[in-house]
Chains A and B, each alone.
Chain A
Amino acid sequence: MADKDVLTGEHFIHGDAACAEGGIASGCRFFAGYPITPATEVAERMARRLPQVGGVYIQMEDEIASMAAILGASWGGVKSMTSTSGPGFSLMMENIGLGMMTETPCVVVNIQRGGPSTGLPTLVGQADVMQARWGSHGDYGCIALAPASPQECFDFTVDAFNLSEIYRQPVFVLGDEVVGHMTEKVIIPPREELRIVERGKPQAKKEDYLPFDFKGPMPAQMAVAGQGYHVHVTGLTHDERGYPVITDAVQERNIRHIVDKIRKNADKIIRVESVFLDDAEVVVVAYGCTSRVARQAVEDLRSRGVKAGLLRLITIWPFPSNMIRQLAKQVKAFIVPEINYGQVAYEVERTAQGNAEVVLMALMGGSIHRPDEIEESVLEYF
């Protein structure tokens, strides 16, 4: 079985399949989901592959149950994952909050399509960026990775599993239809070259063990069912033992912890790709499929001597605020192409603090930008 979990070699597969392979290579052995275009192929691949590696695939009655099931599986001691698109992501929000509150590692892949509501089932969108950050009620920290190719669908799903184990919470792979359905070469490395964070076991004596730790910047080691530790898991505000304590004092400790473990570790979590930023006068900020178009535009502009740069967001959340703040002092403008009516553009505007202009290039969904459109926007500043 072990030889089938990491399919070392070159593959010509789409982004959805690569997300599934990234999950399996990370040790994911439980998938619960509900089919939805354009994420169905993630589930299809999992349905075929998980039984080959001793894993379990369940098609649930809906996305609310899917999210609940992967949280339960995680507390059962198994790395778990689901995949969906906008309408399903909306349904998952309630239990995503439960996962944040109970500090439960798992991975949610969202292959974005045009919304709101049923929107454009088969066509691209990037409008779930703010929903990923703020979609469930209450305060929590968020990690969301945005792949721009099938290779990155594999790599970032592995990264998402590792981050979810380290920071003990649901982590999002925020793909889009273009990347999910795009087929390219994906190189799966040999098992020994993959960096996989395995879940450890608590070291404390059973009578001393606390399943939650609100003191430091990192979460407590998670104990799972069957290890002999007493664990109480609740969505209510809870103390270090996991028992409900409905007071303002415990709410302070509990919520500051689940926000701060991401906020205070943001520098370790944030991943960006910088292209020609050193002397750039105008910087395009882009992510997912749009970052490929932006890369083409910026390279075309550079070949004509125009000082354009690209800041590609690999993690959209946490947002690279410090980097934008610094860049804002040296550039004339940020151009933000995205397939929504302004989401990351607001974040860029907020962090630029008026030091550089911010131009939103919005598409409502269904198609991607053309390189020449982005080039034209940049050239307005030269």
Chain B
Amino acid sequence: MSEKQEIRLAGFGGQGIILSGHILGKAASLFEKKNAVFTQSYGPEARGGSCSADVVISTQTVHYPKVGNPSLLVIMSQGAWATYGSSLNPGGTLILDQDLVTLEKEPESVTIFRVPATRIAEEMGKKIVANIVMLGAVAALGGVVSYESLKKSVLASIPPGTEELNVSAFDKGHEFGVDLLKRLKAPA
């Protein structure tokens, strides 16, 4: 039985989308001993253009490396939603940065989680870690890699001296995700 998951993270250049994809893939590959392929697409712009990071995770060998219709889609800009929104597999999970993305119409048969990743990062005084906050939320909500593996992968991927900041960002995102799940499960 092959357990294959396709994940797409998308936003604009400069948000750390590509690094997020790398960290997610590394978590699965090195810390959960699964097979993971990480690919990326971006335009010629250094910053501001739309970009996406695709990760395929499987217990078996991954031959075809690309993501077609992801089962988990993480969106961090309105432009990325316009480009990639329709790619999400029915029955899949959508995680949004709620302050940067508004949905005119909610897609059907999709689980939607709204996470204020950029706002949480700004409240920490470091907007730059919004991607790590979002990864923390993905650990809680995405169901693809464990909190422990993802945290190890964050620590193995960031510049020395930024451990405290990044772990704190990761934990804030994770806490938000765990609380969100509790709130959604609580009877109305």
Would you give the shortest CB distance from B136 to chain A, in whole angstroms? 20
Known: A178-B39, A183-B38. A296 touches B22 (CB 8 A): no
Given contacts A121-B44, A292-B63, contact A12 B39 (CB under 8 A): no
> Residue of B at shortest CB range from A11?
B30
Q: Which size bracket describes the interface of B in this complex?
A: 10 to 19
B164 → chain A, closest Cβ, in Å?
Answer: 23
The answer to whether A182 touches B38 (Cβ under 8 A) is: yes
B21 nearest in chain A by CB position: A183
Chain B interface helix/strand/loop/mixed: mixed
* Minimum Cβ distance to chain B for residue A312 (Å): 11
Given A10-B30, A12-B29, A122-B42, check contact A183 B22 (CB 8 Å): yes
Interface centre among A183, A185, A293 (most CB of B within 10 A): A183
- Give the interface centre of B29, B37, B63, B68 by most chain A CB atoms within 10 Å: B63
Contacts A182-B39, A183-B22 known; A292 to B65 CB distance under 8 Å?
yes
- Bound-state Cα–Cα, A183 to B40, Å: 9
State whether the Cβ of A113 lies closer than 8 Å to any Cβ in chain B.
no
Cβ A292 vs Cβ B64 within 8 A? yes
B8 within 8 A of A: no
CB-defined contacts of B68 to chain A, threshold 8 Å: 370
Give chain A's interface residue range (CB within 8 Å of chain B). 10 to 19
A368 contacts the other chain (CB 8 A): yes
Q: Which of B26, B30, B36, B64 lies at the interface centre, i.e. has the most chain A CB atoms within 10 A of its CB?
A: B64
The distance from the CB of B182 to the nearest CB of chain A, in whole angstroms, is: 33
Measured CA separation A178–B40 after assembly (Å): 9
Q: Within residues 71 to 129 of chain A, which ones have a CB less than 8 A from any CB in chain B? A: 121-122
Contact status of A184 and B63, CB under 8 A, knowing A12-B30, A122-B42: no
| Interface pair A12/B65, CB less than 8 Å apart | no
Given A292-B65, A371-B64, check contact A184 B36 (CB 8 Å).
Answer: yes
Which residue from A12, A122, A182, A296 sits with its C-beta under 8 Å from B26?
A12
A371 vs B62: C-alpha distance in the bound complex, in angstroms?
A: 13
Asked if A295 meets B63 with Cβ closer than 8 Å, knowing A178-B39, A183-B22, the reply is: yes
Report how far A292 CA is from B65 CA in the complex, Å.
8
Q: Is the CB of A184 within 8 A of B38?
A: yes
Is B63 a contact of A296 with CB atoms below 8 Å?
A: yes
Of the candidates A10, A121, A178, A185, the one having the most CB atoms from chain B within 10 angstroms of its own CB is A185
Please determine whether B63 and A293 come into contact, CB atoms closer than 8 angstroms.
yes
Whether A184 and B42, one on each chain, are in contact in the complex, defined by CB atoms closer than 8 angstroms, is: no
CA distance A81 to B64 in the complex (A): 30
Q: How far is B42's CA from A299's CA once the two chains are assembled, in angstroms?
A: 31
Task: Please report the C-alpha to C-alpha distance between residue A382 and residue B61 in the assembled complex, in whole angstroms.
Answer: 27
Residue A261 lies at the interface, judged by CB distance under 8 Å to chain B: no
Q: Is the CB of B66 within 8 A of A368?
A: yes
Tell whether, in the assembled complex, residue A181 and residue B39 are in contact, meaning their CB atoms are under 8 Å apart. Answer: yes
A311 at the interface (CB under 8 A from B): no
Chain A nearest Cβ from B4, distance in angstroms? 11
Q: Is the CB of B37 within 8 A of A182?
A: yes
For the complex formed, measure the closest distance between the CB of A174 and the CB atoms of chain B, giving whole angstroms.
18
With an 8 A cutoff between CB atoms, is A289 at the interface? yes
CA distance A295 to B39 in the complex (A): 18
User: Are B64 and A185 closer than 8 Å at their CB atoms?
Assistant: no
Which chain A residues (326-378) contact chain B, with CB distance < 8 Å?
A: 368, 370-371
User: 1/0 contact trace for A116-160 toward B, CB 8 Å?
Assistant: 000001100000000000000000000000000000000000000
**B146 at interface (Cβ–Cβ under 8 A)?**
no
Closest to B68 in A: A370
Which residues of chain A are within 8 angstroms of B168 by Cβ–Cβ distance? none
0 or 1 for each of B16-54: is its CB under 8 Å from A? (1 = yes) = 000000100110011000011111101110000000000
| Nearest Cβ on chain B to A361's Cβ, whole angstroms | 15
The residue of chain A having its C-beta at the shortest distance from the C-beta of B22 within the complex is A183
Taking a contact as CB atoms under 8 Å apart, the answer to whether A183 and B63 are in contact is no
Q: How far is the CB of B151 from chain A (nearest CB, A)?
A: 15
Q: Which residues of B contact A370 (CB under 8 A)?
A: 64, 68
Complex A-B: 6 CB contacts under 8 Å: A10-B30, A12-B38, A183-B38, A183-B39, A184-B35, A371-B64
Apart from A122-B42, A184-B37: 14 A-B pairs, beta carbons within 8 A:
A12-B22, A12-B29, A12-B38, A121-B44, A122-B44, A182-B38, A183-B22, A184-B38, A292-B63, A292-B65, A293-B64, A295-B63, A296-B63, A368-B66
7 closest A-B pairs by beta carbon, nearest first, are A296-B63, A12-B26, A183-B38, A296-B64, A295-B63, A185-B29, A292-B63
